[in-house]
Amino acid sequence: MKRFGQVTAVDGITLELRAGECLGLLGPNGAGKSTLIRSIVGRVIPDEGTISVFGSPADSVEARNTLGWIPQELALYPRLTCRENLQAFGRYHGMSGGALDQAVDHCLGWATLTDRVGELVKNLSGGMKRRLNMAAGLIHQPKLVLMDEPTVGVDPQSRNHIFEMIEKLRDEGMSLIYTTHYMEEAERLCDRVAIVDHGKVIALGTNAELVQNAFGSRSTVLARFAGADERTNDRVAAWVAERGGQAVDGSAQFTVEHPTEIAGLLESSAKEGFELVDVSLRKPNLESVFLHLTGRELRD
Partner 1 sequence: MVSLRRDTGALALSFVLPVVFFSIFAVIFGGQRDSTPKVKVIVVDEDHSRVSERLVQGLMKEGSLKVKSRPEPVKGVEQPEYTAETAETAVKEGTAPVAVIIPHGFGENPIAFGPANPNRPTIQLLKDTSDMVAPQIVGGLLQKVAMTAMPDVMAEQGSKYFDDFAGGLTKEQRDRLNEGIRFLRERQENGAAAGDSGIGGGIVAVSERAVVGQNHDMVSFYAAAIGVMFLLFTASGAAGALLDEQESGTLDRVLSSHVTMTSLLLGKLAYNSLLAFLQLVVMFLWGWAVFKLDFWSHIPGFIVMGISTAVAVAAFGLLLASICKTRAQLGALSTLVILVMSSIGGSMFPRYFMSEAMQKAGLLTINAWAIDGFTKVFWRDEPVSHLWPQVLVLVSIAIVLFAIARRVARRWEYA
Interface residues with partner 1 (CB under 8 A)?
4, 35, 38, 41-45, 59, 61, 64, 67, 69, 71-78, 89, 92-94, 136-137, 140
Report the residue number, 12 or 78, with the smaller CB distance to partner 1.
Answer: 78
Report the residue number, 145 or 289, with the smaller CB distance to partner 1.
Answer: 145
The CA distance from 155 to 300, in Å, is 25
Tell the smallest beta-carbon distance from residue 26 to partner 1 (Å): 22
Tell the smallest beta-carbon distance from residue 60 to partner 1 (Å): 11
Tell the smallest beta-carbon distance from residue 294 to partner 1 (Å): 24
Tell the smallest beta-carbon distance from residue 167 to partner 1 (Å): 24
- Per DSSP, helices labelled H in 74-155 are 82-92, 97-110, 126-138
Tell the smallest beta-carbon distance from residue 199 to partner 1 (Å): 14
Report the residue number, 64 or 131, with the smaller CB distance to partner 1.
Answer: 64
The CA distance from 279 to 148, in Å, is 39
Report DSSP letters for 234-293, one per residue.
HHHHHHHHHTT-EEETTEEEEEESSTTHHHHHHHHHHHHT--EEEEEEE---HHHHHHHH
- Phi and psi of 121, rounded to 5°? -60, -35
Report the residue number, 76 or 210, with the smaller CB distance to partner 1.
Answer: 76
Report the residue number, 93 or 218, with the smaller CB distance to partner 1.
Answer: 93
